[in-house]
Chains A and B, each alone.
Chain A
Amino acid sequence: MQNWLKAIFLVLSLSIAGCKAPPLPPEAKEADIQENSLWKAGAPIYASEDYQRYKESYRQAKNRLIKERGKFVWFRKYEPVQLALRNVLDEGTRLLEKVEKEKETKSSQITSQLTSCKKRINSIKKLSLITPEGKAARFFLMRAELMLHEVELMQQKGDLIAAEEKLKDIPTYIKDAESLIASPLERYGDEDVIKIWKKWVDEAISESRKKGTVAIIVSKLDRTLTVYKKGRLLGTYSIGLSRNGLSDKLHAGDYATPEGKYQIIKKLPKSKFYKAFLINYPNQEDIEKFNLAKKKGLVPAGVSIGGLIEIHGGGNDSLTDGCISLENKDMDRIFDLAVVGTPVIIVGALGNSDKLSLMRDGF
């Protein structure tokens, strides 16, 4: 009977002793908090592999903790677990830094791509106003702009991965718009064509210097009209063109502005559009070009070569039918300078045009 009592006493003692477990290492709680912070910071997204490795270390440490807790209190030793948890905490701290850095890099990359896309869209938008395919191009540009806006909203919310993903689709729309606009503008990337334009301009300025006369130079891409007198630059004015203004005029109704060496054949002090200079379009070269195009079937049946191309007032934001329009005050400035016979050189672009470089880069 005495032995029975001893046995019960032994069991009870062991049970009571089991209640006095050593405290859990504080690192366990810290690791839990850190894991949550890492999740909130987006570690599973921005540093997926590292996060998986960290999670594995975290799990292993926790398993060791569980294993240790499972031991009889006398045999529990938390020091090795504590060390493992500290290592996990260090790994977590490094990972958090990496995640923050990654997010910062991603965000700045997105911002830079957004800026670049906006810049391209704005350049094409300007060109869309003066090309026949501009309307179709604007459709794609607007789609691209809507997506840009969505990307900005995603970026603001911190959803950088979705923003980055969405951003990938935007260049396709921009390229679609570019390709629509690019075809009538291909000539602007042709060095030989630019050389010819530059030669016309140089010759006109040189003649102005030699003869002491006035010369008018129109650059369609730059949308400028420049006046020279005795070879010296008198002024540069902003102009408006037609919706197909960057194309070379071929026939009536093509809404293109002709390119070539012309001269004023009539001064109109009173015109539908304030004041005007009528130029000698079509000249001999235009007629030859038209006839050749007609032979090739490039001119619709019954369509003439057209005419009545003017430099007139009415505002530089005009959309003409092929003429060149100026602000009325600028028309006033040049009206008395020019005479009948004043050369008017209309070129696509000047060799040093900023827009030309932009287009070369863009397309």
Chain B
Amino acid sequence: MKNIFRVITLMVLVAFFFTACAKQPTQEMDNAKAAVESVKTAGAEIYAKDEFKKLNDDLTAALDEVTAQSKKLFKKYGKAKELLAKVKSDADALLPVVAQKKEEAKKAALAAQSEATAAVAEAKELLKKAPRGKGTKADIEAFTADLKALDDSLPEVQKAIDTENYLGAADKAKAIKEKATGISDQIKKAIEKVKPKPAAKPAPKKK
């Protein structure tokens, strides 16, 4: 009887030894979650979609591992800690990548904005040189109205840039540029049409 009591005591002590030393890695969990959140705030959902999804999945897997271990009799949080540490380091590594991608998107938006502004300005200049007459009056009036609409749309690109919607800004700028270029092409054609043709060279006389 005495021996049985000793065995039970020993088992309880061993179980206590295994479980008491294995506390949930709450600090690591909080760190990983905070790291993922900061990447999200930096714009990872927009500029690094796939990487962010993987990061989220890895975080879920790490938290699942914590849950799995918490349900075990003999808890081992070593793997969960490793996973959580990896999530944090991956998130930390992703942060500059997101910042870089965002910066690239900003540069692209600014470049597209400049191109759109230049295209509208070029079309306006060309319109000044467009042949004026009864036959072109309607087209000139139409182009003037079209260019005004394009000109009025340019601040919207800046507005999108100001709100850090770089991808939207680039799309808006591209649309403006394409329309302005289309107008310029039509004006160029009209100018070409009315240009005086060079006099044809007289055919060489037959001897």
Is residue B14 contacting chain A, with contact meaning CB distance below 8 A?
Answer: yes
**A11 in complex: contacting residue of B11, B50, B71, CB < 8 Å:** B11
Apart from A6-B7, A134-B142, list 11 A-B contacts with CB within 8 A.
Answer: A7-B7, A36-B57, A40-B53, A72-B73, A129-B142, A138-B149, A140-B149, A317-B136, A317-B138, A319-B135, A319-B141
Contact of A149 among B50, B135, B144, B174 (CB under 8 A): B174
Which chain B residue has the least Cβ–Cβ distance from A138? Answer: B145
A62 contacts B by Cβ under 8 Å: yes
A303 at interface (Cβ–Cβ under 8 A)?
A: no
Considering only residues 319-341 of chain A, those with a C-beta below 8 Å from chain B are 319-320, 325
A319 adjacent to B138 (CB under 8 Å): yes
Identify the closest chain B residue to A135 (Cβ).
Answer: B145
Closest approach, in angstroms, between the C-beta of B190 and any C-beta of chain A?
Answer: 10
> In the complex, which of the residues A6, A18, A35, A153 contacts B175, with contact meaning CB atoms closer than 8 Å?
A153
**Nearest CB in chain B to that of A67: its residue:** B71
Q: Which residues of A contact B148 (CB under 8 A)?
A: 139
Contacting B at CB under 8 A, from A204-250, are 240, 243
Asked if B195 is at the interface (CB within 8 A of a chain A CB), the reply is: no
Report A-chain residues with C-beta under 8 Å of the C-beta of B139: 129, 317
| CB pair B145 A142 closer than 8 Å | yes
Contact digits for B132-175, partner A, Cβ 8 Å, 1 yes 0 no? 00111111011011101110110000000000000000011011
Whether B207 is near chain A, meaning CB under 8 Å from some CB there, is no
Nearest CB in chain B to that of A11: its residue = B14
- Determine whether B106 belongs to the interface, using a CB cutoff of 8 Å to chain A: no
**Please, which residue of chain A has its CB at the minimum distance from the CB of B144?**
A135
Q: Is the CB of A66 within 8 A of B68?
A: yes
CB-CB under 8 A from B7, the residues of chain A are: 3, 6-7
In the complex, whether B6 has a CB less than 8 A from a CB of chain A is yes
Smallest CB separation, B145 vs chain A (Å): 4
B49 to chain A, nearest CB (A): 9
B72 at the interface (CB under 8 A from A): yes
Contact yes or no, B73 A128, CB < 8 A: no
Our pick among A62, A134, A153, A318 for the contact of B141 (Cβ within 8 Å) is A134
Q: Any chain B CB within 8 A of the CB of A145?
A: yes
Q: Which residues from chain A sit less than 8 Å from chain B, CB to CB?
A: 3-4, 6-8, 11, 18, 32, 35-36, 39-40, 62-63, 66-67, 69-70, 72, 125, 128-130, 134-136, 138-143, 145-147, 149-150, 153-154, 240, 243, 273, 314-315, 317-320, 325
B101 at the interface (CB under 8 A from A): no
CB distance from A145 to the nearest CB of B (A): 6
Compute how far the CA of A142 lies from the CA of B144 in the bound complex, rounded to whole angstroms: 11
Chain B residue nearest to A1 (CB atoms) is B3
Interface-centre pick from B14, B144, B171 (highest chain A CB count, 10 A): B171
* A149 contacts B11, C-beta separation under 8 Å: no
CA distance A72 to B69 in the complex (A): 12
Contact A66 B67 (CB under 8 A): yes
Please state if B68 and A69 are interface contacts (CB–CB under 8 Å): yes
Q: List 6 A-B contacts (CB under 8 A).
A: A18-B74, A66-B64, A150-B171, A153-B171, A154-B171, A318-B134
- A313 CB to nearest chain B CB (Å): 11
Provide the bound-state CA to CA distance between A279 and B138, in Å: 24
Interface residues of B in 179-198 (CB under 8 A from A): 179
Closest residue of chain A to B145 (Cβ to Cβ) is A138
Inter-chain contacts of A128 with B (CB < 8 A): 142
- Which residue in chain B gives the minimum CB-CB distance to A72? B73
Q: Does A317 contact B135, Cβ atoms closer than 8 Å?
A: yes
Check A4/B145 contact, CB under 8 A, given A314-B134, A314-B135, A320-B134.
Answer: no
Kindly provide the distance from the CB of A36 to the nearest chain B CB, expressed in whole angstroms: 7
* In the bound complex, CA of A129 to CA of B136 (Å): 11
A115 to B134, CA, bound (A): 33
Chain B neighbourhood of A4, CB < 8 A: 6, 10
Residues of B within 8 Å of A147, CB to CB, are 175
Cα–Cα, bound, A162→B161 (Å): 18
Tell me, yes or no, whether B109 is within 8 Å of chain A by CB: no
Report the separation of the CA atoms of residues A325 and B171 in the bound assembly, to the nearest whole angstrom. 42
Given A150-B172, A150-B175, A314-B134: A136 and B68 interface contact (C-beta under 8 Å):
no
Please indicate the chain A residues that have their CB under 8 angstroms from the CB of B179 in the complex.
Answer: 142, 145-146, 149
Complex CA gap A143/B147 in Å reads 10
Give the CA-CA distance A314 to B145 in the complex, in Å.
Answer: 25
Contact of A39 among B6, B53, B71 (CB under 8 A): B53
Report the bound CA distance from A221 to B137 in whole Å. 19
Q: Are B141 and A136 in contact (CB under 8 A)?
A: no
CB pair A146 B172 closer than 8 Å: yes
Contacts of B11 in A (CB 8 A): 7, 11
Contacts of A40 in B (CB 8 A): 50, 53
B178 at the interface (CB under 8 A from A): yes
Question: Which residue of B50, B68, B137, B153 contacts A146 across the interface (Cβ within 8 Å)?
Answer: B153
Asked whether B127 is an interface residue with its Cβ less than 8 Å from the other chain, the reply is no
Q: Are A243 and B53 in contact (CB under 8 A)?
A: no
Which residues of B sit under 8 angstroms from A7, Cβ to Cβ? 6-7, 10-11
Contacts of A317 in B (CB 8 A): 135-136, 138-139
A139→B149 contact, CB < 8 A = yes
Asked if A243 meets B149 with Cβ closer than 8 Å, knowing A66-B67, A149-B178, A315-B135, the reply is no
From known contacts A150-B171, A153-B175, A243-B141, infer whether A143 and B153 are also in contact, taking CB-CB under 8 Å: yes
